[in-house]
Structure 1
């Protein structure tokens, strides 16, 4: 990304599973002349999942899932995040 005039965030492809939406995000630099946003205290939970390649078991993929919320929201949504993490599975190519 170039430095001048970039938005603070660019959103990538997203997915929705059982009402929980996950989005890929790319962070860029703040454009010149923009005031910094007031930031609320944040909490973050991260999970790393290691999965075998079904075609080649000697290869692995590591998936990082991150929940970032305000401190006041953290306990309210943590169990939903844990439930979401338990649903992450490799795509076997079978129709659901």
Structure 2
């Protein structure tokens, strides 16, 4: 089981906004570009890049999604609701 992951995310306030951005991803738009444009997280400046983090370092719903089996094989995960808002998550790798 993976204990380390690297991921990027897009954080927005509403599920509706999150789903609209997911639609743009489904149409082939760039995750990093959409993060820079829409994400409310300070990581937006880096295209949503959160870098590497250990299992348990993120809030539970985010952590559960990232470390789920096969999460790294999906184009993106979400919408995932946390106390911060709604996330779209791109798992870059797990180790």
TM-score, normalised by the number of residues in structure 2: 0.22
Which protein, 1 or 2, shows the higher relative CO under an 8 Å CA cutoff with sep ≥ 6? 2
More helix by share: 2
TM-score, normalised by the number of residues in structure 1: 0.22
